[in-house]
Amino acid sequence: MQCEGLKGNGFSDFKLFGSDSLGDLNENNFSIIHAHQTSGLLFNNYLVDLHGVFTRQLKDALGKYSFVKRKAAEFLRLPEVRRMERRLLERAKAIICAGESIEAFARQKGTAFLIRNCVNVSLYKDCDWSSTRIAVCGPFLKIYQNRYQLEHIVRIAKAFPKLSFVLIGRIENEDLRTLRDLTNIQPMGYVNNFVETLRSCSVLFAPYPHFTSQGGAKTKLIEAAACGMCIVATPYAVCDFFAENSMIDEEDECLAKHLLYLTENEDNRKSVGQRMKKYVLANHDHLAETKKLIKVYEEFSD
């Protein structure tokens, strides 16, 4: 979407490289490299684009969760991760930040610019506000921390059988067996038409736990809001997403009250959803955000 925004603003002097084509990249042929996350360490002349601050998330998680051995290993590597992050940020010409809290962190490390995650809102049709279905986005696999959303959903689905949930994303077989007896939870698995499946619901539920690393949660919130969906979430899902009409709580009972309020009345869903769409258009539009990005390129290009 960022690339579409660059082209839409008349900027086409760039080329994309991925993990399958990095071998073809000669950085001497470019005035600057726009590197996402730690890929900046591969280059000498780059802007680094931060979508999260790994060490801060690890620090916040300490003492809050009994991690499995794999997570304990991550903590043992924390000094190594900090050194990697320090090298990454010290060598970068500038730091592009996807959100306000990341910018606040990065400003202490070097020259920082706020350029938010963006979407072309015109490509997202309105959701079905007549639907009372609630979307929850995965994947819900053991290797992802957002798998723990299932614990919230199962508790709420059992306590409030009138609520109807649609799980979008891969689910472990053992979890599918757990969900088998809950008729108000529909596991969709992997879907090819994510946005169409998303907008068949009218509410996005994002009950991410406190130890989550977000797992792309903010992008899903932005896409849902672009469809005019209502959003009910825990604070940990709403990283740098400050829409006033998001319904944010930590406790299952409070989250359920928000969901019930929205599913009781179509007018409630439509009014909240329309305000969410307006917010994304004002704050996450691909043309507006990439105009700021072009200014950064112009400042640091040779």
pLDDT (0 to 100) of residue 87: 84
The mean pLDDT value for 247-274 works out to 95
- Distance (Å, rounded) from C-alpha 63 to C-alpha 60? 8
The mean pLDDT value for 267-295 works out to 96
The mean pLDDT value for 265-288 works out to 95
How confident is residue 238, by pLDDT bands cut at 50, 70 and 90?
A: confident
pLDDT (0 to 100) of residue 190: 94
- Distance (Å, rounded) from C-alpha 76 to C-alpha 73? 5
What pLDDT digit, counting tens, does each position of 133-159 carry? 999 998 888 777 667 788 889 999 999
What pLDDT digit, counting tens, does each position of 160-181 carry? 999 999 999 999 999 999 899 9
How confident is residue 33, by pLDDT bands cut at 50, 70 and 90?
A: very high
> What are 140's two structure tokens?
């819900």
pLDDT (0 to 100) of residue 58: 47
The mean pLDDT value for 88-117 works out to 88
Residue 61 has pLDDT above 60, yes or no: no
Q: What is the pTM of this model?
A: 0.85
pLDDT (0 to 100) of residue 65: 44
How confident is residue 287, by pLDDT bands cut at 50, 70 and 90?
A: very high
User: Which domains does the chain possess?
Assistant: 2-118+285-300 (no CATH), 121-282 (3.40.50.2000)
Taking the CA of residue 278 as centre, how many other CA atoms within 13 Å lie in the half-sphere pointing to its CB?
8
How confident is residue 275, by pLDDT bands cut at 50, 70 and 90?
A: very high
